[in-house]
Amino acid sequence: MTRFLRLLLAVGAACGVFAPAGPSLANPPAKPLEIVFINPGKTGEVFWDMVAQSMQAAGRRLDAHVEVLTSERNYRTMQELGLGVVARHDKPDFLILSNEESAAVPILEAAEAAGVKTLLLSNTLIGEDAVRLGPPRQKLKTWLGDITTDLQTAGARMANALIATARAEKWQSPDGKIHLLGIGGDEITPASIARNAGLKLAVDAAPDVVVDRLLFANWTQSEAEQVTTNYLGWASRKEIRPAGIWAGNDPMALGALRAVVAAGLVPGRDIQLVGLNWSEDALREIRAGRLLLTDGGHFLLGGWSIVLLRDYADGCDFAAVSPRVEVKTSAITRQNLDSVRDLIKTRAFGRIDFARFRAKAGRCGDYDFSLDALISSLPVPEGAAD
Amino acid sequence: MRKDEAMTDPESNGPDAPRLRPVVRAMIWATVPVLLLVQLLASAGVEASSFWSQIRQLDARMARVAESRAELIAEPLWKMRYDQVTGVLNEIMHDETIAAAAVYDDTGAAIARVVARSEGPSIAEVSRPIHYSNGNMAAVQAGRIAIAYSHAALYANAGSRLVLLLVVGLLATFATLIAMRISANIFIGRPLAAMMSAIQRSKQDGRAYPAEVKSSNEFGQLARAFNAMQHTTSGALDRLGHMAGHDPLTGLPNRRSLTERLAVASRDGGRPDALVAFCFIDLDDFKGINDTFGHEAGDEFLVQISRRLRTSVEAEDWVARLGGDEFVVIRPEVSNEASAHAFAQQVLTAISEPIRLHDKQVVPRASIGLAVRRADDPELSHLPTLADIALYHAKSKAPGTVAVLDEALQRDYRRRRDLELAIPAGFAEGQFEVWYQSQVDLESQEIVGLEALIRWRHPDHGVIGPAEFLPLIERSGNNARLTRYVLTDACWALQRLAAAGRPQIRIAINLPPSELADHSLAAELRATCARFDVAPSLLELEITEGSLINNIASASQTLHRLRRLGATIALDDFGTGYSSLAHLRRFPLDKVKIDKAFISEIPDSAEDKAIVGVIASLAGTLGLTLVAEGIERAEQAEAMREMGVRFGQGYFYQRPQPLDAVLHGLEKRPAAETRVLADSPPIAPEFA
């Protein structure tokens, strides 16, 4: 009954019955939204902090109150928090979860029972859970969908950048091939697997390139430095000229960078490295010419998720295209570095005009979350937009 | 044999006897070293095989360790997590046998190296490739793992186990040795000792002692066989002992038993004042019975005599046969010498009962020498000798009687023994002297001959007559010597007679019976005569009938030879012995000398005169010259002459005298040589 009334209310809102008049929208928001986000990361963990901050910035722009609960990398805590939210008397409109270690599944099921709409962010259902529960809105009606990043493309883009540079610089080894080192975060999480698959995809398409090793460094800088040192030693004994190092995230790329320097190579001149995450340190190294690029920007999934839910609440369901929204990442190079450096450095996500990213009327589910679109949404250079 | 002696007499550890080597010890020496050696070799073999098996196991284990580590290390090595590689490698270092381990990558560079200890002896190494593969790629060799491990612990282990085995082996051998010693003692040593002890005891007194062996094994059987053999041997020894002490013909104790009996009697005789009567019995003329009836009958005769002896004495008396026809009867207790004599007489009487032999009555005759001594007499063992003295007397003086040993007999015996022992000295010192007694022509009263009579001038006993010492000479085997002595003296006397102008006087020599069997006598006589340059015809040889009887053929031969030399032969003492007329005819006799027994009663005894008359008439018929012996009175000489006896001899004319005295007497008488010579039968020597 309640669910039916809520649906009726939502339909009414979508139809603009209660929508107030907005400056740029035909249909003004019907009402402010209550959104809870269970943050799987730790307080101070850069990526998840930035996800939450972008989420809150978008909320402020799109009349949604975003409550962030941090599970501190403890999945038991995460489940307790999620179940607690579902059991609340005043239930939120939407609950945003990240299915890290598949810990969100019980919360999803509890939310279904409680009639709380859920959205999975960054990590969706995998494996047995995916088979058992099926796609969104079938078995779990309140599971609206998921918003994830296309990290495979990111991995391939990073590899292609290395290959292109090596080809241009003619960094082939005596065997005539371009030798790369891959450093993955791990071998089991979907986020890592996708990036690594991207690397493989790119290299398979390039017959003159070989990845000597895909090493794993547990996402950490120190381990990446260690394995890179080992690789460089091995390569020199094998008389291989290493042309590039592909790292699954920025800390690992920075660790590899330190190992390269320690091995007496000059990054950017003798060898190129790529990372992912748009981290501040990486941007600094890009600026110094020691890192070729850092891919990423997926912390903005937080903001984009609010955009999706705002549209959904307003009657423009993203499922019109697909309940599964995949957001492309973007590479920051020396060329576009300046545009986003301050944004990232200051985390002034309030400067992003999230309303601009909402779906156009009649084109529900059709979004452009590209770097170019982002840059153009920033207000600073007046003439740079469009 | 020496070995056997050593076996039966282990105490005889003389320089030649081999030292006793107990069989048990020899067995132990033969088996225990072999046992020890085999045990040690077997232990060492087992240990060596175990050692090599452990080596192989260790090698295999190390190979497995290397392979399993290679699998574990493959991924971290491939993914260049060298710290993890080191960690995995470190995990195997708790294995004490592993000395070092290393991992090399595909470039050959050492990625990880751990060393547990500095390299020691006997290090082995195992190396395995490290292959890496995942779903996306085929297996590649990521590197190599090498493990160095030590066999030292195995060596040390094997060494200590060898020592343990050695100790156990030695203990086992020692235990075996003890067990062998004990069991060998029980099963071998004891039965042997029991048999040895039985042998020792039986050696001491000759009786059978069974060996006490109860076991049913081979030694038990041996002991039973040994006991049975001892029993048999003992029975045989008993029989042998009985045979040694008894006469097989009569079953009486023999001489040996007599010696033992006397030894026992002198050791533990009855009452010290009791008298022991010892009768030494000799059957008279047993040889005649043998000759007449045969030896089997002789044996039967002896058996009957022995049976009589046994039945005629009391149970406590003791009868023995010493051999031949000699028996002994001992009465251990007689009251006095008279009763002993009566006992001997009683025995003699029992013997003298007639016996039937071949359906003929034979009357046994025996002489007994009786000696009586106190039971505590120290000379008890000499009783046989003493009785023999008496017997000698009986047989020589009164056959068929009992002669009791008395002081006189003993004295005689001692004198006889003295003389017997002095015979060699008598010859050596010229104590024997030849005296001469003249033979006179009863018609003319001329001395026609001399009879050489031997005398013994003993330094202690004085001049001894031939009747006493001639038997001794004969018994001591000196007859021939004495005969030659007399012959030599007679020839020398003939030489002197010739020198004294009496060359017609002949000398008569007595020939003992044994000399008639001597074929060399004639030759010697001729040689001696030649030496003294006298004619053998001047010698007259006197023989007795007895000497003719014993060896008729040989005597006849000798007499013919002597006669051919020219000597005359005279038959001495005619009338007392056989007085066989056949002898007078058969033998080549020239003279017969009538025994003085027939002369002494003449002329008073008409019988003797008749006998002499018959003899004279017979001699006349046969052409024999007669000589009367023992003429002591003139009427005897006259009677002889009247009865036709030609010559006489006796004290009436002349006592036997040394030659000088005879020659001295002759000097007083005129010679009448022609008659004597004419009287002598002219016998031409056939070989000169």
**pLDDT, tens digit (0-9, with 9 covering 90-100), for B23-74:** 778 888 888 888 888 888 888 898 889 989 999 999 999 999 999 999 999 9
What CATH number is attached to the domain comprising B635?
3.20.20.450
Residue B160 lies in a domain: no
- Residues of chain A neighbouring B80 (CB-CB closer than 8 A): 213, 215, 227, 230-231, 234
Q: Look at residue B583 and tell me whether its pLDDT is greater than 50.
A: yes
Same domain, B265 and B223: no
Q: Look at residue A351 and tell me whether its pLDDT is greater than 80.
A: yes
Give the model's confidence band at B8: pLDDT under 50 very low, under 70 low, under 90 confident, else very high: very low
Per the CB < 8 A criterion, the answer to whether A351 and A303 are in contact is no
Residue B174 lies in a domain: no
Mean of the per-residue pLDDT values for chain B? 84
Give the integer Cα–Cα distance in Å for B486 and B427. Answer: 12
Q: Give the three-class secondary structure for B442.
A: coil
Residue B605 lies in a domain: yes
Burial class (CB in 10 A: 0-12, 13-18, 19+), A374: buried
Per the CB < 8 A criterion, the answer to whether B254 and B306 are in contact is no
Residue B417 lies in a domain: no
**pLDDT, tens digit (0-9, with 9 covering 90-100), for A270-311:** 999 999 989 889 999 999 999 999 999 889 999 999 999 999
- Residues of chain A neighbouring B109 (CB-CB closer than 8 A): 233-234, 237
Same domain, B388 and B376: yes
pTM: 0.52
Give the model's confidence band at B670: pLDDT under 50 very low, under 70 low, under 90 confident, else very high: low
Same domain, B238 and B254: no
Per the CB < 8 A criterion, the answer to whether A267 and A273 are in contact is yes
Residue B170 lies in a domain: no
Q: Which of A306, A343, A360 is nearest to A62 (CA)?
A: A306
Same domain, B279 and B397: yes
Q: Look at residue B331 and tell me whether its pLDDT is greater than 50.
A: yes
Give the pLDDT mean for B210-234.
Answer: 85
In the prediction, which pLDDT does A382 show? 41
Contact A226/B at CB under 8 A: yes
**Boundary residue ending a domain (B150, B165, B191):** B150
Give the integer Cα–Cα distance in Å for B443 and B687. Answer: 34
**pLDDT, tens digit (0-9, with 9 covering 90-100), for B333-365:** 888 888 899 999 999 998 888 888 888 888 888
Residue ranges in B185-254 assigned as alpha helix (H): 190-205, 218-245
In the prediction, which pLDDT does A234 show? 95
Nearest to A227 among B81, B105, B109 (CB): B81
User: Do A216 and B107 lie within an 8 Å CB cutoff?
Assistant: no
- Residues of chain B neighbouring A227 (CB-CB closer than 8 A): 79-81
Query: Rounded to whole angstroms, what are the CA distances from B563 to B340, B451, B524, B533?
Result: 55, 18, 14, 18
Same domain, B269 and B400: yes
Q: Ranked by mean pLDDT, which of B6-10, B45-49, B231-235, B514-518 comes out on top?
A: B45-49
Give the pLDDT mean for B286-305.
Answer: 88
User: Which of B77, B79, B80, B105 should be substituted to probe chain A, the one whose Cβ sees the most A Cβ atoms within 10 Å?
Assistant: B80
Minimal CA separation from A248 to chain B, in Å: 15
Q: Look at residue B675 and tell me whether its pLDDT is greater than 60.
A: no
Q: Look at residue A179 and tell me whether its pLDDT is greater than 50.
A: yes
Burial class (CB in 10 A: 0-12, 13-18, 19+), B369: buried
Nearest to A234 among B80, B81, B83 (CB): B80
- Residues of chain B neighbouring A230 (CB-CB closer than 8 A): 80-82
Residue B201 lies in a domain: no
In the prediction, which pLDDT does B477 show? 85
In the prediction, which pLDDT does A294 show? 95
Same domain, B273 and B217: no
Give the model's confidence band at A34: pLDDT under 50 very low, under 70 low, under 90 confident, else very high: very high
Minimal CA separation from A229 to chain B, in Å: 9
In the prediction, which pLDDT does B378 show? 76
Q: Look at residue B17 and tell me whether its pLDDT is greater than 90.
A: no
Strand partners, B300: none
Q: Look at residue A26 and tell me whether its pLDDT is greater than 70.
A: no
In the prediction, which pLDDT does B386 show? 85
A56-65, A354-363, B265-274 — which is least confidently predicted? B265-274
User: Do B79 and A213 lie within an 8 Å CB cutoff?
Assistant: yes
**Boundary residue ending a domain (B150, B171, B192):** B150
Same domain, B354 and B482: no
| Tally of helices (H runs) and strands (E runs) in chain B | 24, 21
Nearest to B109 among A215, A231, A237 (CB): A237
Give the model's confidence band at B618: pLDDT under 50 very low, under 70 low, under 90 confident, else very high: confident
Minimal CA separation from A274 to chain B, in Å: 19
- Residues of chain B neighbouring A226 (CB-CB closer than 8 A): 81-83
User: Do A216 and B79 lie within an 8 Å CB cutoff?
Assistant: yes
Per the CB < 8 A criterion, the answer to whether B602 and B609 are in contact is yes
Residue B392 lies in a domain: yes
Chain B, nearest residue to A181 by Cα: B79
- Residues of chain B whose beta carbon is less than 8 angstroms from a beta carbon of chain A are 78-83, 105-109, 136
Q: What is the DSSP secondary-structure string of A285-346?
A: HHHTTS--EEEE-GGGHHHHHHHHHHHHHTT--GGGT-SEEEEE-EEE-TTTHHHHHHHHHH
Q: Look at residue A72 and tell me whether its pLDDT is greater than 80.
A: yes
Chain A, nearest residue to B143 by Cα: A234
A116-120, A245-249, B227-231 — which is least confidently predicted? B227-231
- Residues of chain A neighbouring B82 (CB-CB closer than 8 A): 226, 230
Q: What percent of chain B is predicted at pLDDT more than 70?
A: 93
Give the integer Cα–Cα distance in Å for B320 and B309. Answer: 9
In the prediction, which pLDDT does A380 show? 56
Give the pLDDT mean for A125-154.
Answer: 93
**Boundary residue ending a domain (B222, B242, B262):** B242
Mean of the per-residue pLDDT values for chain A? 88
Q: In chain A, where are the structural domains located?
A: 33-149+298-376, 152-296
Give the pLDDT mean for B479-496.
Answer: 90
User: Do A238 and B107 lie within an 8 Å CB cutoff?
Assistant: yes
Complex ipTM, two decimals? 0.77
Same domain, B331 and B234: no
B117 φψ region: left (φ > 0), alpha (ψ -120 to 50), beta (else) = beta
Give the integer Cα–Cα distance in Å for A69 and A106. Answer: 17
Residue B132 belongs to domain spanning = 56-150
Give the integer Cα–Cα distance in Å for A355 and A374. Answer: 12
Chain A, nearest residue to B105 by Cα: A234
A15-24, A41-50, A294-303, B278-287 — which is least confidently predicted? A15-24
In the prediction, which pLDDT does A158 show? 96
Give the pLDDT mean for A109-113.
Answer: 95
Residue B162 lies in a domain: no
Same domain, B257 and B222: no
Same domain, B662 and B590: yes
Q: Look at residue A29 and tell me whether its pLDDT is greater than 60.
A: no
Same domain, B378 and B443: no
**pLDDT, tens digit (0-9, with 9 covering 90-100), for B594-615:** 888 888 888 788 888 888 888 8
Per the CB < 8 A criterion, the answer to whether B587 and B621 are in contact is no
Q: Is the peptide bond between B603 and the residue preceding it cis, with omega within 30 degrees of 0?
A: yes
Strand order in the sheet with B275-283: B318-323, B326-334, B275-283, B366-374, B402-404
Q: Look at residue B249 and tell me whether its pLDDT is greater than 60.
A: yes
Give the integer Cα–Cα distance in Å for B512 and B604. Answer: 33
Give the integer Cα–Cα distance in Å for A328 and A149. Answer: 6
- In total, the C-beta contacts within 8 angstroms joining chain A to chain B are 29
Q: Two tokens at B391? A: 């017997």
In the prediction, which pLDDT does B227 show? 87
In the prediction, which pLDDT does A250 show? 93
The beta strand positions in B106-260, using DSSP E, are 110-115, 123-134, 137-150
Domain count within chain B:
4
A254-263, B202-211, B236-245, B313-322 — which is least confidently predicted? B202-211
**pLDDT, tens digit (0-9, with 9 covering 90-100), for B643-669:** 888 899 998 888 898 988 888 888 877
Give the model's confidence band at B3: pLDDT under 50 very low, under 70 low, under 90 confident, else very high: very low
Contact A181/B at CB under 8 A: no
Per the CB < 8 A criterion, the answer to whether B327 and B348 are in contact is no
Nearest to B79 among A215, A233, A238 (CB): A215
CATH class of A152-296: alpha beta
User: Which of B73, B75, B78, B79 should be substituted to probe chain A, the one whose Cβ sees the most A Cβ atoms within 10 Å?
Assistant: B79
Give the model's confidence band at B118: pLDDT under 50 very low, under 70 low, under 90 confident, else very high: low
Same domain, B550 and B501: yes
Q: What percent of chain A is predicted at pLDDT more than 70?
A: 90
CATH superfamily of A33-149+298-376: Response regulator (3.40.50.2300)
In the prediction, which pLDDT does A11 show? 46
Choice between B25 and B106, residue whose per-residue pLDDT is larger: B106
Q: Look at residue B560 and tell me whether its pLDDT is greater than 60.
A: yes
Q: Look at residue B14 and tell me whether its pLDDT is greater than 80.
A: no
